[in-house]
Chains A and B, each alone.
Chain A
Amino acid sequence: MITVTHVSKEFKLTKKSRNEMGGAYRNAKTITAVDDVSFECLPGSVFGLLGPNGAGKTTTLRMVATMLKPTSGNITVSGFDTQTYPQKVREKIGFMTGQTALYDRLTPNEMVRYIADLQGMGVNEFKSRRDQLFDVLDMHDFANRRIARLSTGMKQKTSIARTIIHNPDVVIFDEPTAGLDVMTSRRIVELIRTCREEGKTILFSTHRMEEVKLLCDDIAIIYQGRLFFCGTLEAFEAQMTFDSFEDEFIHMTSEV
């Protein structure tokens, strides 16, 4: 379970970025990337954080994963406050981005072992979990080959295995399908579904509306750091004034 309560995040602006952004930011010292955002992700369901590039999705996910500290507000993951117990929180989460985020010179086996060791898993627990994952993902054939020599699909499987090797309660996906082909995207979609069936809490960000329809139980729409909608997918669909998600989204944000 993830609870995000009135969370805001400001970043300091450097002189260079002030000049680049110009306009209202020319004299601003900070920029608000996330502005008073609250939502709740429940176990056994998929929560979609929806918004265009630069909306504040990645910042929000990084705050949940304790990589960034909120400027105000608080976040709890599986009951642990991200600022008071960051280590406990990190033990509970798996984090995956669109990049496969792997070490080229390691093998899938070593890569997964590294994360398991960092998570403090025991040897036997690791082995049985690894075998189970390698079976499901059909990874045994290339488990001991250097990652640099693997195909994109194999890398994606390795990335999945390393994300959930420690069987986390919460899995965070930051635009996991960005830049992937249909086949590999489908594997991620399957992973998200499996995680939901296992009762995990899934928080995932995307700007692809069709994925939302396919996967999400609850959604939050974020634009320019602010929350525009938060509720179930059904509730969102019920209040839609346009036929397509895209049109609805553009309409919602056009007033800003």
Chain B
Amino acid sequence: MNQFITIFKKELKDILRDRRTLIMMIIVPMIITPMLIVGILKIQRVQLEKAKAKEIRVAFLGKENSSQLYQIFKEGEKIVLIDNFPEDSIAASIASDEIDGAVIVRSDFPSNIESDRQAKVEIYFKSSEAFGSAIKRMTDLIESYDKQIVEERIDRLNLDKDLFNAVAIVKKDVSSVQERIGKIAGGYLPYMFILFSFMGTMYPGIDLGAGEKERGTLETLLSSPANRLQIVLGKLGVVSLSGIISALIAILGIYLAIQMIEDIPADILKVILDMLGFKIIITILTLVIPIAVFFAAMVLSISIYAKSFKEAQSIIGPANMIIVIPVIIGLLPGIELNAKTALVPILNVSLASKDLLAGTINPFHLVEVYFSLFLLAGIAVWGCVRWFNREETLFRT
């Protein structure tokens, strides 16, 4: 026990003095997370506003067939109308961004409108255009014209408006704001802390295994009275702790990011901050602990097998992908925590966190998640200890 504490204390001191570990463990999750969240939202908003504010150039063909529609387009905000555009060059001009769209009103349009039939307006656009702002603005204007004509017809024929709206849908959403946000955004929180808890274990894990071999200190340690179980557990303790701290800091980073986003309505902000309340964070942390222990055992096993820092890195790098896959599956809509998914490691943490945040967690499933995680962590630690006891692993040539 004493030796375990000695090793734990020394390894902790050692990694806390390693700049690389500190950057990965504290700085990256602390700064990258808020920057990523706030940055992406900001870029998205700026782009959207830009698209809205952009002046679009629309070719209007058949002005003589509907002066009313032409007028509506003319009065439309930030629209430059081009008359007398040759019809055969519309497609090419939109493709080359010379114009953003085109409206064609054919000669049968007035007669159809006058005889209360359906008249057609053709619009040309490019759906690949970012935010589809041209098509949306053109459609909005035509729809407003359509509404105007329909209302005129109803009035003229003295009909009841309800004739055309036989069924009105009255939507009553019983999910709370917390549930809605939890289900939509809840997946990203576990995504962040699962990844960061893995990244937090990476450098210390490599350093305390392969690094020890590279420095030649492994022999010093192995020829000390500490037995191999104490050595592995001391190292695992520090690597796991590093993963847990990283995850915690990532959560803190998200918390900060939310407060940095300017245009969250006050009531929604309150719900979000309530969601990230003490009790939920503690529950999520209890999920992080076994997952961090699992990552630590995995990284340390690879690291102790590798002959050098470089080799360990080259094996652990791709392992990142294996972790990302279940996390991304957890982000997909329709994948929910049930008796089966609760048993799939990593994915279950992602799904359970989503439910925890939404306040809809099924306690039975949560127990299953814990069972699966602790079992996995236990197996990983057992494997790591056995691995460390193998002469072929320690003195691999």
Task: Spell out A's residues near B (CB within 8 Å).
Answer: 11-12, 17, 62, 65-69, 86-87, 90-91, 93-95, 97, 99-106, 110, 114-115, 117-120, 146, 162, 172, 174
Contact = CB atoms under 8 A, between A and B. Distances in A.
Given A87-B225, A90-B224, A67 B219 contact: yes
Interface residues of B, number: 26
A199 to B, nearest CB: 21
Contacts of B10: 103, 106, 110, 114, 117
Contact of B14 (A87, A95, A106): A106
B186 to A, nearest CB: 39
Contacts of B395: 62, 67-68
Given A110-B13, A114-B6, A118-B3, A100 B225 contact: no
Given A101-B220, A105-B17, A106-B13, A118 B226 contact: yes
A40 B156 CA distance: 119
Interface string B211-241: 0000111011111111100000000000000
B223 A93 contact: yes
Given A101-B216, A103-B217, A95 B13 contact: no
B263 interface: no
A95 B216 contact: no
16 contacts: A11-B391, A62-B219, A62-B395, A65-B223, A67-B223, A67-B395, A68-B395, A94-B223, A97-B219, A100-B216, A101-B217, A103-B217, A105-B18, A106-B10, A106-B13, A120-B225
Contacts of B175: none
B392 interface: yes
A12 B392 CA distance: 8
Contacts of A90: 223-225
Contacts of A95: 219-220, 223
Contacts of B216: 97, 99-101
Nearest to B216: A99
Given A103-B14, A106-B13, A68 B217 contact: no
A172 B222 CA distance: 13
Contacts of A91: 225
Nearest to B10: A114
Contacts of B220: 95, 101, 115, 162
B2 interface: yes
B36 to A, nearest CB: 30
Contacts of B223: 65-67, 90, 93-95, 172
A42 B11 CA distance: 37
A30 to B, nearest CB: 12
A67 to B, nearest CB: 5
A87 B231 CA distance: 13
Contacts of A62: 219, 395
A146 to B, nearest CB: 8
Nearest to B214: A99
B224 A115 contact: yes
Contact of A68 (B2, B7, B17, B391): B391
Nearest to A86: B227
A106 B222 CA distance: 19
B224 A118 contact: yes
A34 to B, nearest CB: 13
Interface in B353-397: 391-392, 394-395, 397
Contacts of A104: 215
Nearest to B215: A101
Contacts of A162: 220
B13 A119 contact: no
Which of A93, A94, A101, A102: most chain B Cβ within 10 A?
A101
- What are the 4 A-B residue pairs with the smallest beta carbon separation, nearest first? A99-B216, A95-B223, A101-B216, A105-B17
A192 to B, nearest CB: 17
B2 A99 contact: no
Contacts of B394: 67
